[in-house]
């Protein structure tokens, strides 16, 4: 397909412009700051489309730029979906003078929460964990393929989500979203993703947090290895208990940084005392 295939006849937005938005979407977090968060990155990403839409309307362009300088923040991978919807809505706004432009930001804001929730579950909870877990096995053997396995496994869903998110967002984003929310499939989808997520975390705790107790007693000539008793109770009991305690603390609103410091201090002391290895 030629790169100048026209997607939107009215505003002469071409495939090339969409490709540009796609690449620019990777830089969304590039100018992350506390005041507007990802706003500048968002505006930068959709700029090629805005320039075409408001080619002969300088006031409209100015207003649109200000509109997208409003604070915006979400998990980056699904963000092109929002960009697609935004471009579609900007086109509507240009065409229909009665179009309520505030609804554009309203849609963006309403998407930040749910899409970030889904994005975090998938990209931080599942894709990253799987990619890292598989790559760790190779890295432990010193296999130089490990980093490439990690990057490829993670970035396939990362790139595909961006590519199709942008397309779907533009062509039928608003419709799709209302359908999903009405039917409740969105929550169901997140829930089912959660099943895979928690099962892999459960598995990881057992496999990759090898906390053990090296204590050995000698009572009337027989050696008693404490860890063997713990294993009879339940294998991998110590990592499970540690993880769940930290989890309980975080769920009660505990600070992550405090949890890390506490574990470092507790771990260090127990290690020095020879209770944990």
51-70 mask for another protein (x: CB under 8 A)? x------x--xx--xx--x-
Q: Of 1-9, 89-97, 119-127, 167-175, which segment contacts another protein by CB under 8 A? A: 119-127
14-43 residues in contact with another protein (CB under 8 A) are 25-37, 39-41, 43
| Shortest reach from residue 192's CB to another protein, in Å | 4
Classify 71 as helix, strand or coil: coil
Query: Is residue 124 at the binding interface for another protein, with CB under 8 A as the rule?
Result: yes
Q: Which is it for the CA torsion 253, 257, 260, 261, positive or negative?
A: negative
Q: Which is nearer to another protein, 14 or 45 (CB)?
A: 45
CA dihedral 131, 193, 204, 237 (to 10 degrees): 170
Contact between 182 and 168 under an 8 Å Cβ cutoff? The reply is no
Q: What are phi and psi of 121, to 5 degrees?
A: -60, -45
Write out the binding residues for another protein, residues 73-112 only, by CB under 8 A: 73-77, 112
Contact 71, 35 (CB under 8 A): yes
Residues from 216 through 245 that contact another protein (CB under 8 A): 234-236, 239-240, 242-244
* Residues from 161 through 200 that contact another protein (CB under 8 A): 162, 183-185, 187-200
Cα–Cα dist 49/55, whole Å: 10
> 26 or 168, CB closer to another protein?
26
């Amino acid at each position: 397909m030629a790169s100048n295939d026209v997607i939107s006849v009215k505003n002469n937005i071409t495939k090339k412009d969409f490709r540009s938005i796609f690449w620019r979407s990777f830089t969304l977090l590039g100018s992350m700051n506390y005041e507007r968060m990802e706003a500048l990155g968002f505006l930068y990403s959709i700029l090629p489309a805005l320039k075409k839409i408001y080619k002969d309307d300088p006031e409209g362009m100015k207003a649109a730029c200000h509109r997208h300088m409003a604070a915006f923040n979400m998990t980056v991978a699904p963000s092109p979906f929002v960009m697609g919807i935004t471009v579609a809505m900007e086109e509507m706004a240009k065409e229909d003078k009665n179009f309520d432009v505030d609804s554009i930001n309203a849609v963006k804001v309403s998407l930040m929460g749910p899409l970030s929730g889904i994005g975090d579950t998938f990209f931080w909870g599942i894709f990253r964990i799987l990619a890292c877990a598989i790559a760790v096995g190779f890295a432990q053997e010193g296999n130089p393929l490990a980093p490439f396995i990690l990057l490829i496994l993670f970035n396939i869903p990362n790139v595909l989500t961006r590519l199709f998110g942008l397309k779907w967002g533009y062509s039928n984003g608003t419709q799709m979203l209302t359908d999903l929310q009405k039917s409740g499939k969105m929550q169901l989808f997140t829930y089912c993703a959660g099943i895979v997520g928690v099962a892999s975390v459960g598995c990881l705790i057992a496999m990759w947090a090898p906390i053990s107790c090296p204590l050995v007693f000698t009572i009337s000539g027989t050696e008693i290895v404490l860890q063997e008793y713990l294993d009879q109770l339940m294998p991998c009991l110590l990592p499970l208990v540690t993880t769940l305690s930290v989890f309980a603390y975080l769920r009660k609103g505990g600070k992550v940084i405090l949890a890390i410091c506490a574990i470092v201090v507790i771990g260090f002391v127990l290690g020095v005392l020879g209770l944990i290895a």
